C-alpha cells in the first residue's frame, strides 16, 4: 500500500541562510517535505500553535497551506518567494538558494535545509494521501538507525554546487515520504492531529486488511460488505471505522484509488481506455470516462495530455 506512494516533485531545493531564520510560505498549492537544518526551528502551520522541530527531523505538509518557519519569531518576517532570487542557482528542477551574508561564505552542510515541493493536487488525487493529517513529523531521535544517513544523502544529492547535482533525488525523496507515512500508520503520534480526528480509529489494525486489498486488487468487484467481511466487522461498523480513519466512505476511497491508478496508466503506458478500465475495475471505458469526468472535471484523454504547471517560485 505504501509502495504506491510515488509522486513527481516539481522542484527540489537546498537553502543556506544566516540566523535567525523567520520565513513564511503562503502557497496553498505546493506541499513541502522538509529536512530541518542544524539549529532546529519552530513551525507554525495556519493558525495552529507552534511545533518545535529539531535538527535532522523530517516534516511533511501533504495539504500545503500557509506556514512559518523560524528560529526567532522576533526576527523580520521574510517571504520565501521574495528570497529565491538571492544567490539562486538552478540545475533542472533542483534549486540552490543562499540568503544573506551566507551567500559570500563557503557552503556548510550543517547550515543547510533540504527538501522538495509537490503539487498538492497530485497528492490529493491519491486517497491515502488525501486522508493524511495536515502535518506529519518523523523525529530524528525516533529513527536513529537509518534517518541520519538518509538525510545526509539527500543533502549531498541536492547540492548542485559540488554534490550530486539533484540526480536520483526524486527517488530518494519518495522513499523518505513513504517511510514517513508508514511511521504515521504505525503510530499516529507522528502527526499533528486535527481535534476532529478520532485517533483511536487510526490505530485499528483490522482496517489494514481492507486497505491492502483495495490497493493491491482494486479490479476486484469489491463492495462495502465484502470489504467488511475481510475485517471481520459488520458493514455498518466497518464503514464508520473506515471513514474515521481515511475521511472517506469505503466505496468513495476505492473509486478515488481506481481513478488515481487510471491516471497513472494513461500517462505512463500506451493503453487504450478500455484496457485501463479492465485493469482498475470498471466494466467499460464509458463508465470509467464518466467517473473520471465527475471526479476530476476533465476527460481522461484531456488529463493525460495536459502539461504540468510551469515551475514558478514567485
Q: Which of 34, 10, 9 is nearest to 23 (CA)?
A: 34
The CA-atom distances, in angstroms, between 264 and each of 7, 17, 85, 114, 261 are 10, 38, 34, 28, 5
For cell 467499460, the residue is: 284
Cα(234)–Cα(121) distance, integer angstroms:
34
Beta bridge partners of 100: none
pLDDT digit of tens for each residue in the chain (314 aa)? Answer: 677 778 888 888 887 776 678 889 988 888 999 999 888 899 998 888 899 999 999 999 999 999 999 988 998 888 877 766 555 677 777 767 665 544 455 444 445 788 899 988 888 878 888 878 889 898 899 888 999 999 989 888 888 877 888 888 889 999 999 888 888 877 766 555 443 444 444 456 788 889 889 988 999 999 999 999 999 999 999 999 998 877 789 999 999 889 988 988 888 787 899 999 999 999 999 999 999 988 888 888 766 555 555 555 44
Cα(141)–Cα(77) distance, integer angstroms:
29
Take residue 186 and report the three cell numbers written for it.
Answer: 504505525
Buried b (16+ CB within 10 A) or exposed e, 125-164: bbbbbbbbbbbbbbbbeebeeebeebbebbbbbbbbeebb
The pTM of this model reads: 0.72
Domains and CATH numbers, the chain: 2-192 (2.60.120), 206-305 (1.10.10.60)
Amino acid at each position: 500500500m505504501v509502495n504506491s506512494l510515488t509522486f513527481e516533485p516539481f522542484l527540489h531545493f537546498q537553502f543556506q541562510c544566516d540566523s535567525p531564520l523567520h520565513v513564511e510560505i503562503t502557497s496553498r498549492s505546493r506541499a513541502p517535505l522538509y529536512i530541518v537544518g542544524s539549529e532546529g526551528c519552530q513551525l507554525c502551520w495556519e493558525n495552529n500553535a507552534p511545533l518545535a522541530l529539531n535538527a535532522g527531523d523530517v516534516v511533511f505538509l501533504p495539504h500545503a497551506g500557509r506556514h512559518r518557519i523560524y528560529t526567532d519569531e522576533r526576527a523580520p518576517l521574510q517571504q520565501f518567494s521574495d528570497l529565491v532570487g538571492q544567490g539562486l542557482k538552478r540545475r533542472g528542477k533542483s534549486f540552490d538558494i543562499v540568503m544573506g551574508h551566507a551567500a559570500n561564505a563557503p557552503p556548510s552542510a550543517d547550515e543547510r535545509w533540504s527538501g522538495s515541493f509537490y503539487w498538492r493536487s497530485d497528492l490529493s488525487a491519491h486517497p491515502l494521501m488525501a486522508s493524511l493529517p495536515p502535518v506529519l513529523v518523523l523525529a530524528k531521535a525516533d529513527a536513529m538507525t537509518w534517518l541520519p544517513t538518509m538525510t545526509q544523502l539527500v543533502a549531498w544529492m541536492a547540492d548542485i554546487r559540488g554534490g550530486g547535482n539533484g540526480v536520483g533525488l526524486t527517488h530518494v525523496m519518495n522513499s523518505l515520504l513513504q517511510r514517513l507515512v508508514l511511521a504515521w500508520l504505525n503510530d499516529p503520534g507522528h502527526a499533528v492531529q486535527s481535534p476532529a480526528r478520532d485517533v483511536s480509529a487510526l490505530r485499528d489494525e483490522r482496517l489494514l486488511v481492507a486497505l491492502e486489498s483495495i490497493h493491491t486488487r482494486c479490479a476486484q468487484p469489491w463492495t462495502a460488505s465484502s470489504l467488511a467481511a475481510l475485517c471481520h466487522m459488520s458493514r455498518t461498523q466497518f464503514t464508520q471505522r473506515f471513514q474515521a480513519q481515511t475521511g472517506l466512505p469505503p466505496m468513495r476511497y476505492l473509486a478515488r484509488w481506481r481513478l488515481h491508478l487510471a491516471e497513472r496508466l494513461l500517462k505512463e503506458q500506451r493503453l487504450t481506455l478500455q484496457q485501463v478500465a479492465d485493469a482498475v475495475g470498471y466494466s467499460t471505458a464509458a463508465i470509467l470516462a464518466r467517473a473520471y469526468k465527475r471526479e476530476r472535471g476533465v476527460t481522461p484523454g484531456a488529463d493525460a495530455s495536459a502539461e504540468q504547471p510551469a515551475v514558478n517560485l514567485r
